[in-house]
Amino acid sequence: MLPVVSRASGVYVYDEEGRAYLDGCSGAINVNLGHGVPEITQRMHEQIDQVNFVYRTQFRSRPLMELAERLADLAPGGLNHVEFANSGSEGIEMALRLVTLLHSRRHNPHKCVVLTEEPSYHGMTAGALGASGHPLRRSGLQSLLGNQVTVARVRPTHGALRAGVEEWQEAIDRVGANRLAAVIVEPVGGAASGAVPCDREVLRFLRSAADEQRFVLVADEVMSGMGRTGRWFGCDHADIAPDVMVLGKGISAGYAAMSAVLVSDEIADALGRNIGSLVFGHTMAGAPLAAAASLAVTEYLVQHDLAERAATAGKHLSGLLETVCRRHRLVKDVRGLGLQQALGLHGDPERFPGISLDLTEAARAEGLLLYPAGCTPITESVLVAPPLTSTDEELTELVRRLDRALTLLAQPVPEPVAR
């Protein structure tokens, strides 16, 4: 049974029994500043005292307007129009509506196929899960998902974990420019692939293919955005700007429910800059409290240069992980970028998911939180993604606990004693 939480501070979460758990996966890879940062909670208290909620069609609010400006400044060129929702999944749904409306406005309604990767994960709402290449989470839901989005898939070949340029080219040709509406891509994979980065050349290829064939390039940066991978956005590693960028998780770092969809000037112009009333909704979207929390988080990330810190801490962490993992046969590889890393595990096709859940459980017993990932036996993995504020000592302690958990798991299970 899961422990009952009592409080959390920095990289530690405490249960009611007084046990401390080192948060090696930032909750769901979202608590990017660690827990209980006074600079954030203080701003939230101040906002609650002023105004907690207004509806987005009745008022604008200062924190939301400022947040939109900060995000547009940080984002790669031309993504100047920002809309808000409450979760990554909702952000992806918005991107899907936006793409559909755009092609309809441009009198290309037959451009309706969304091309995504397997493995990929874009969220649990019907459209977002429909777009996801995650057989495990889709399992049993085909009749619901089949009606949501017309999807084509690109898959890796030759035992690779993500598709290369050749596979993408083939998939784009297969769909055809007259039908291809959008490509959605995770610049660094998360729950589905287990932190496998998309090849830089693939991102550059997709950028130029989108320009040539007039499809929308959507970057799902829900996990990889806001400094997590050592750059502000995963796309920055390839020096490209997508047409639409979806942010979530780290934008509010767990302090409130918030996501954002950044849209290029070109698309905003094509939709008449009235996007908000066209495709966006949700009662709580962009409410002042979540806006104040997210603005405070964004300012904190900038002031403390945490994207840069994720890059250096990431190198340190991967070095520690490599050393420890060489000693454990369960581990296939260490992968990822910045502080979005994973241990690839030798998954068992007969028992999937298996080893990732066992390791997560063993780690919890050692006082370490990890996030099980992978959507097939070959992608089975655990995400190791501590807060961007983690010190070197905390990273060392994380890997020490992980080492103990792996050792625990490798112990043969004792045979029951015959009576």
Which span (13-21, 51-59, 186-194, 332-340) binds ligand PLP, by CB under 6 A?
A: 186-194
Which listed residue (32, 89, 376, 389) binds ligand PLP by CB under 6 A? 89
Return the residue nearest ligand PLP (CB atom).
88
CB of 326 to ligand PLP, least distance (A): 29
C-beta closer to ligand PLP: residue 251 or 406: 251
Separation between Cα atoms, residue 269 and residue 81, nearest integer Å: 10
> Which strands sit side by side in the sheet containing 180-185, from one edge to the other?
81-85, 259-263, 244-247, 216-220, 180-185, 113-117, 150-154
Exposure pattern of 354-378 as b/e (b: 16+ CB <10 Å)? bbbebbbebbbebbbbbbbbbbbbb
Which listed residue (117, 186, 358, 380) binds ligand PLP by CB under 6 A? 186
Separation between Cα atoms, residue 294 and residue 246, nearest integer Å: 15
CB of 88 to ligand PLP, least distance (A): 2
For Cα atoms 265, 131, 169, give the angle at the middle one, nearest 5 degrees. 75
Dig out the tokens for 154 from the structure. Answer: 């690109």
CB of 248 to ligand PLP, least distance (A): 5
C-beta closer to ligand PLP: residue 290 or 399: 290
Taking CB under 6 A as the rule, does residue 252 contact ligand PLP?
no
Coil vs helix vs strand at 207: helix
Which listed residue (24, 76, 119, 123) binds ligand PLP by CB under 6 A? 123
Residue that has been written with the tokens 């839901």 in this structure = 141
Which span (45-53, 85-93, 290-298, 380-388) binds ligand PLP, by CB under 6 A?
A: 85-93
Which span (56-64, 101-109, 199-207, 217-225) binds ligand PLP, by CB under 6 A?
A: 217-225
Taking CB under 6 A as the rule, does residue 88 contact ligand PLP?
yes
CB 260 within 8 A of CB 251: yes
Taking CB under 6 A as the rule, does residue 386 contact ligand PLP?
no
CB 83 within 8 A of CB 101: no
| DSSP calls for 239-275 | T---SEEEE-GGGTTTSS--EEEEE-HHHHHHTTT-H
CB of 259 to ligand PLP, least distance (A): 6
C-beta closer to ligand PLP: residue 117 or 167: 117
Taking CB under 6 A as the rule, does residue 187 contact ligand PLP?
no
Amino acid 334 reads V
Q: Which spans of this chain sit near ligand PLP (rule: CB under 6 A)?
A: 87-89, 92, 121-123, 186, 190-191, 220, 222-223, 248
